[in-house]
Amino acid sequence: MTSGNTRTNDFVLKIATVNGTGSASANGLLMKALFRMGIPVTGKNMFPSNIQGLPTWYEIRASQEGYNARTGRVDVMVAMNAQTYSKDLAEVSHGGYLIYDSTWPRDEQLSRDGVSVLGIPLSKMVNEHFEGSRVRTLMKNIAYVGALCALMEIDREIVRTLLEETFAAKPKLVEPNFKAVTLGYDYAREHFDCPLPVCAGKMDATAGKILIEGNAAAALGCLYAGATVGAWYPITPSTSVMDAFQGFCDKYRKDPETGENRFCIVQAEDELAAAGMVVGAGWAGARAFTPTSGPGISLMSEFIGFAYYTEIPAVFFDIQRVGPSTGMPTRTQQCDVMLAAFASHGDTRHPVLFPSDPKECFELAVSAFDLAERLQTPVFVLSDLDIGMNDWMVDELQWDDAYRPDRGKVLTDADLAEIKHFHRFRDVDGDGIAYRTLPGSDRKGSYFVRGSGHNQYGGYTEDADEYRQVVDRLKLKWESARGLVPGALERKAPSRTDIGIIAFGSSHGATLEALDRLAADGVAVDYLRLRAFPFGDEVEAFLKAHRTVFVLEQNRDAQMRSLLKIELDADPQKLISILHYNGLPVTSEMIIERIGDYIRQEAVA
């Protein structure tokens, strides 16, 4: 056996299968087992845009240092899909391992210098012990879990406990499953030197942590923020936001006595309708949201501009996938940054929040509702497929029971009784935010919402000055927004430097890792993580304080760099793009390389 470097709790395990074969649960077992062993893990699912029969991959990274980014490495590959076999083999890092189902003999394409190939007759073993084709397919997956337990020292008892939890409702299934584990396990122990140098070992780095997908966390945020109306049209990769919200509501929002729902979820006929429903509900005073992805935002554009101009709170979750157009629905990108910021015709601009992991999906979902109501405007939460649909290890979510929604400037009937006239669009407080009333209020507070020209009193207008007064106030409101959105967070390099990097969203993990490694190599880079648009003063200060600022983003056209230029009049010369946009999550290696190249070149020049 070729011996690679010993890599305890620092490896990438990748499993190549075919979708629709139930491998997802086997892979989940592996993830959770490592997690319960106390090892930081992340899982990345690369699945096709169909339902059954196409290649799919699952990548588990274990990192004792807690890094969660994709890396270019594959230490152990489980190659279950003949169709992608050669591609999978090619991907294994030098010194790595490939495990395959050796039931049927394969030709020499099986081997590659520097990669140890381990054949396990998974089908044969499973077929000997189980009946029924569906069961056999499933058990084959469980059997490779067993083999990996042996090869990588993954705790079999934890796997057993997990099976017991999974099948709590059908306990009879535990034994057969564990038998499949044992089959793989025993075979590996008998035929190979176990463990491999790449393996797991108990540690204690997952206390206080959970494993969660961003979409579920976002749904929890909506639940906790008190959102009651959710309207949506199914689209990958956002669908699971509403699925999760429905699940949580069924659990926490059904009246225990009457069974009535304290929520209303509408599967709309399309995204335009979903947007309209959210706007209607927001107008009527409910916290309302819609999850979608790029194509949905394009379709919602008209309504988004309407909500901007009529000043109606609404929350839009854009779980970004690869564009343009239908693009690659099951791959990740950060490619709707500009669209979210400016969606719709005319002069419009919208606050955008950028969660960097599921925990922030939860937190920023709550912020989004507060901001939408405080600012009376549509607010975007820009997540992506990587955050939304992958399992991330994050700190346990916290909730402060003292939290109360910020409903913003809403006049009650009592308030109305105290004022002489109600003028919907007048800037009473000088912050650009006017007072609103909700439908059902006293008739003194009634007003007419219209996307056409209106004056500060709420009347229809085609008058040049009256029109301008309102849009100028909207601009002032935007200034107010700068002070209200979550600020960017700075992480200083260990030593003084005039080099900085700006990143956001799902690039965060890779950035942290890259900066640590660069620091270890003596390259100091300060890091500013954006959490919102518009940018606060801290972003301007960071730009001012650095000679060179890398802007890392997962799109082709440097959209965030554009925003920095548009919004802050940032000096373009100092903004150096690092762009990654092939649909896979960005790796730390790539960042290190780009920064390294740039610095070397600069040194030469």
Ligand X SMILES: Cc1ncc(C[n+]2csc(CCOP(=O)(O)OP(=O)(O)O)c2C)c(N)n1
324 makes contact with ligand X (CB under 6 A):
no
51 binds ligand SF4 (CB under 6 A): yes
Residue 252 contacts other proteins per CB under 8 A? yes
For residue 40, whether the previous peptide bond is cis, meaning omega lies within 30 degrees of 0, is no
Tell me 82's DSSP state: G
Q: Which does 513 bind (CB under 5 to 8 A by kind): other proteins, ligand SF4, a second copy, none?
A: none
Binding residue count for ligand X, defined by CB under 6 A: 8
Q: Which residues of 555-574 are buried (b: 16+ CB within 10 A; e: fewer)?
A: beebbbbbbbeebeebeeeb
- Nearer to other proteins (CB atom), residue 184 or residue 295: 295
- The conformation of residue 120, written as its DSSP 8-state character, comes to E
Considering only residues 480 to 499 of the shown chain, the ones binding other proteins according to CB under 8 A are: none
- Please say whether the beta carbons of 263 and 229 come within 8 A: yes
The region of 219-227, 368-376, 537-545, 560-568 touching other proteins under the rule CB under 8 A is: 219-227
Residue nearest to ligand SF4 according to CB distances in the complex: 51
* Region near other proteins per CB under 8 A, out of 57-65, 111-119, 258-266, 552-560: 258-266
**Contact map string, positions 24 to 63, toward other proteins, x by CB under 8 A:** --------x--xx------------xxxxxx---------
Pick one of 136, 253, 517, 565: the residue that binds other proteins (CB under 8 A).
Answer: 253
**Region near ligand X per CB under 6 A, out of 171-179, 232-240, 276-284, 420-428:** 232-240
386, 377, 466: which is closest to 426 by C-alpha? 466
319 bridge partner residues: 383
What would the two tokens of residue 70 be? 């994709």
> Binding segment for ligand X among 228-236, 253-261, 373-381, 413-421 (CB under 6 A)?
228-236
Q: Which residues bind a second copy (CB under 8 A)?
A: 48-49, 294-295, 297-299, 301-302, 305-306, 308-310, 322-331, 333, 335-336, 338-339, 342-349, 450-453, 462, 464-465, 467-468, 471-472, 475, 555-557, 559, 562, 565-566, 569-573, 581-584
DSSP 427-438: -SSSSS---B--
Q: Which lies closer to ligand SF4 via its Cβ, residue 51 or residue 207?
A: 51
Q: Which does 336 bind (CB under 5 to 8 A by kind): ligand SF4, ligand X, a second copy, none?
A: a second copy
| Nearest to 1, CA basis, from 193, 188, 174 | 193
Question: Residue 28: in which H helix or E strand, if any?
Answer: helix 23-36
- Determine if 164 is a binding residue for other proteins (CB under 8 A): no
Residues 404, 420, 421, 496: which binds other proteins (CB under 8 A)? 404
For β-strands 198-199 and 7-8, DSSP reports them as parallel
Q: What is the Cα–Cα distance from 41 to 165, expressed in whole angstroms?
A: 20
Instruction: Give the whole-angstrom CA distance, residue 474 versus residue 197.
Output: 62
Q: Is the distance from CB of 551 to CB of 560 less than 8 angstroms?
A: yes
Instruction: By CB under 6 A, tell whether 285 contacts ligand X.
Output: no
Question: Quick one: which segment of 120-128, 205-213, 291-299, 481-489 binds ligand X (CB under 6 A)?
Answer: 291-299
For other proteins, which is the closer residue by CB, 358 or 509?
358
Rounded to a whole number of angstroms, the minimum distance from the CB of residue 239 to ligand X is 8
Q: How far apart are CA 210 and CA 206, in angstroms?
A: 8
Least distance in angstroms from the C-beta of 55 to a second copy: 9
Burial of 176 (0-12, 13-18, 19+ CB in 10 A): middle
Q: How far apart are CA 156 and CA 176, in angstroms?
A: 15
SS (H, E, C) 232-288: ECCCCCCHHHHHHHHHHHHHHCECCCCCCECCEEEECCCHHHHHHHHHHHHHCCCCE
CA 63 to chain centre: 20
SS3 230: strand
What sign does the dihedral 308-311-312-313 (CA atoms) show? positive
397 binds, among ligand X, a second copy, other proteins, none (CB under 5 to 8 A by kind): other proteins
338 binds other proteins (CB under 8 A): no
- Count CB neighbours of 207 within 10 A: 7
Rule CB under 8 A: choose which of 176, 459, 487, 596 binds other proteins: 459
Of positions 57, 178, 283, 425, contacts other proteins by CB under 8 A: 283
Report in angstroms the alpha-carbon separations of 193 from 106, 182, 187, 562.
Answer: 22, 17, 11, 54
Pick the stretch among 316-324, 450-458, 533-541, 552-560 that binds other proteins (CB under 8 A). Answer: 450-458
Distance separating alpha carbons of residues 577 and 584, to the nearest angstrom: 18
Q: What is the C-alpha to C-alpha distance for residues 283 and 449, in angstroms, rounded to an integer?
A: 9
Q: Is 397 in the site for other proteins (CB under 8 A)?
A: yes
Nearest to 218 by CA among 236, 197, 239: 239
Point out which span in 374-382, 433-441, 469-477, 554-562 binds other proteins (CB under 8 A): 433-441
Q: Which of 299, 394, 530, 564 binds ligand X (CB under 6 A)?
A: 299
Q: Which does 129 bind (CB under 5 to 8 A by kind): ligand X, ligand SF4, a second copy, none?
A: none
Pick the piece of the chain touching other proteins (CB under 8 A) from 103-111, 254-262, 561-569, 582-590: 254-262
**Nearest Cα to Cα of residue 282 among 253, 262, 259, 306:** 306
List interacting residues with ligand X (CB under 6 A). 233-235, 271, 295-296, 299, 326
List interacting residues with ligand SF4 (CB under 6 A). 51-52
